[in-house]
Amino acid sequence: MFFKRLLMAGGLSMVLVLGACGGSDEESTEEEGTEEGATTEEDNSASSGDVDAEGIARDNCASCHGEDFSGGVGPALAGTSLSEADFEETVRNGQGQMPAFSEDQVSDDELSALYTFFSEQ
């Protein structure tokens, strides 16, 4: 039980660090020179809009929900049958052994991108 809580705390810490590291001003100034409607290599690598949902999922969900998100300690997320509202409520409030993730840990945009990513699996 202690080990699981330690892993969850580590995962939450990673979410906080990733959220705090966000983009820098340098990235935005580089993109300002891009013609409107044109895409950059960085845009093409994003899973959903400007959010790398797959990267976030691999970093924060795979340890409990499986490397391919088909289930593990936690239930399968790939091909989720949950509504987006139920998915968001579960992530925000936690359920069973799953911890809650605040908006400071996972933004609403990231949460929406994760839902889309898992729904398309």
Residue 18 has pLDDT above 90, yes or no: no
Rounded to two decimals, the pTM is: 0.60
Note the pLDDT tens digit of each residue in 34-88: 444 443 444 333 344 689 999 999 998 999 999 999 999 999 999 999 999 999 9
Residue 68: inside a domain, yes or no? yes
Q: Which amino acid is at 38?
A: A
Report the CATH number at residue 60: 1.10.760.10
Residue 108: inside a domain, yes or no? yes
Residue 59: inside a domain, yes or no? yes
Give residue 50's pLDDT: 85
Ramachandran area for residue 79 (φ above 0: left; ψ -120 to 50: alpha; else beta): left
Residue 98: inside a domain, yes or no? yes
- Please tell me the distance from the alpha carbon of residue 111 to that of residue 106, in angstroms, as a whole number: 6
The residue range of the domain holding 92 is 52-121
Confidence of residue 93 (pLDDT cuts 50, 70, 90): very high
Q: Into how many domains does the chain fold?
A: 1
